[in-house]
């Protein structure tokens, strides 16, 4: 089933460049949060984008290079979630206001930053990419009997319904299929074509808040965001491979590309951890900031978002130069 949504073109680009030399402790946090931009860039990128950041309250999406210097800036109202494409393009899920429940717009941006299409949906916040190009987005309460839907949207705005079910939340592409997790403990794998064919299902005692592909083909990580606060590693058959309690409230997963390793961050505290094969705790760092989220595996360490800054630590937990000056960071993702 395929439905065409309205398209609207238009995007603007600009640039701002900031270099932060971070110290330790409170000095690091203060610099990252308050140091203003020092250099203005032209609209043309001067280095490849390594990571994308959504600055929701500043109405912009910024691309940062390997030194976390801003090399791209796209003006877009209320960006809340990002999903890069293999062709250099970018999906941006945007809200009508500062929340994820007002009514959403899914914008497809070409590698040049030009908006290719805009798809209007109802409330949603989960965003992924399938086959390197098409967006997957959860739309809440718009299916039959007010259940949720997963839409697959092409860059030109053409959309189809992949599945309909109640309590949908976690979402990822996995081996060319779509895997969803629900807040009442169900995992399910569907064909990504729009046939709505169910390939596998399982029921757990959990509330799945985030899923992310990682490890062997078909495997993925799942966050149980119930009071159990568990990290699960799940096989192609939706069976548990390993499970560990992480001891804090994490909301997003930062997978190390091509490996059975993943970072999690404490949204109510200052701790970031990396788990490896078998659920072994490999890294455990306490950072000089609070409310950490959106971990991204980066070089030999990790990036994490705070409301106003990106922090960076190396594999030993030592601070590295980060980036500040954000109004409200709502997402942080690695570029493809």
pLDDT tens digit string along 285-331? 999 899 999 999 999 899 999 999 999 999 888 999 999 999 999 99
> To which H or E segment does residue 34 belong?
helix 25-34
Banded model confidence at residue 98, pLDDT cuts 50, 70, 90: low
What number is the average pLDDT over the span 12-23? 32
| pLDDT at residue 97, as a whole number | 74
| pLDDT at residue 20, as a whole number | 30
Dihedral through CA 247, CA 249, CA 251, CA 253, nearest 10? Answer: -20
Residue 7, pLDDT > 90, answer: no
For the chain, give the percent of residues with pLDDT over 90. Answer: 76
Residue 89, pLDDT > 90, answer: yes
| pLDDT at residue 71, as a whole number | 96
Asked if residues 200 and 186 have their Cβ atoms less than 8 Å apart, the reply is no
pLDDT tens digit string along 169-223? 999 999 999 999 999 999 999 999 989 999 999 999 999 999 999 999 999 999 9
What number is the average pLDDT over the span 157-161? 95
Collect contacts of 219-226 with beta carbons under 8 A, ≥24 apart: 219/174, 219/260, 220/172, 220/174, 220/179, 221/253, 221/255, 221/262, 222/170, 222/181, 222/187, 223/170, 223/250, 223/251, 223/252, 223/253, 223/264, 225/249, 225/250, 225/251
What number is the average pLDDT over the span 269-281? 97
CA 28 from centre of chain: 25
CA distance 32 to 327: 12
| pLDDT at residue 19, as a whole number | 30
CA 73 from centre of chain: 18
Q: Specify burial of residue 321 (Cβ count, 10 A radius: 0-12, 13-18, 19+).
A: middle
Residue 18, pLDDT > 60, answer: no
**CA distances from residue 282 to 33, 247, 288 in whole angstroms, order as listed:** 29, 15, 20
210: tokens are: 């985030």
Asked if residues 47 and 66 have their Cβ atoms less than 8 Å apart, the reply is yes
Note the pTM of the prediction, 2 decimals. Answer: 0.85
Banded model confidence at residue 100, pLDDT cuts 50, 70, 90: low
Half-sphere exposure of 265 (CA within 13 A, CB side): 26
Instruction: Give the max Cα distance, the chain.
Output: 55
| pLDDT at residue 39, as a whole number | 30
Half-sphere exposure of 233 (CA within 13 A, CB side): 21
Dihedral through CA 316, CA 321, CA 322, CA 325, nearest 10? Answer: 150
Residue 142, pLDDT > 60, answer: yes
């Amino acid at each position: 089933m395929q439905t065409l949504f309205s398209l609207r073109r238009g995007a603007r680009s600009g640039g701002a460049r900031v270099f932060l030399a971070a110290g330790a402790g409170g000095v690091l946090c203060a610099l990252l949060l308050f140091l203003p931009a020092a250099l203005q860039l032209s609209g043309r990128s001067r280095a490849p984008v390594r990571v994308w950041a959504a600055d929701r309250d500043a109405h912009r999406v910024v691309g940062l290079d390997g030194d976390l210097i801003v090399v791209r800036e796209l003006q877009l109202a209320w960006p809340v979630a990002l999903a890069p494409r293999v062709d250099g393009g970018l999906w941006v899920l945007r809200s009508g206001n500062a929340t994820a429940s007002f009514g959403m717009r899914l914008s497809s941006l070409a590698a040049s930053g030009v908006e290719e299409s805009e798809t209007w949906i109802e409330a949603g916040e989960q965003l992924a990419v399938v086959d390197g190009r098409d967006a997957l987005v959860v739309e809440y309460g718009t299916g039959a009997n007010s259940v949720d839907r997963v839409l697959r949207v092409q860059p030109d705005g053409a959309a189809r319904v992949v599945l309909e079910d109640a309590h949908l939340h976690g979402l990822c592409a996995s081996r060319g299929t779509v895997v969803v997790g629900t807040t009442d403990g169900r995992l399910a794998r569907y064909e990504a074509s729009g046939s709505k064919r169910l390939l596998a299902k399982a029921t757990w005692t959990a509330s799945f808040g985030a899923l992310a592909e990682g490890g062997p083909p078909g495997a993925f990580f799942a966050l149980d965001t119930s009071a159990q606060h568990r990290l699960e590693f799940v096989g192609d058959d939706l069976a548990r491979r390993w499970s560990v309690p992480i001891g804090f409230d994490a909301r997003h997963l930062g997978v190390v590309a091509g490996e059975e390793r993943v970072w999690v961050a404490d949204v109510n505290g200052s701790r970031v951890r990396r788990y490896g094969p078998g659920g072994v705790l490999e890294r455990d760092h306490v950072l000089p900031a609070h409310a950490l989220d959106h971990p991204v595996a980066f070089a030999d360490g990790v990036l994490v978002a705070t409301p106003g800054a990106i922090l960076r630590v190396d594999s030993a937990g030592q601070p590295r130069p980060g980036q500040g000056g954000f109004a409200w960071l709502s997402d942080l993702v690695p570029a493809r």
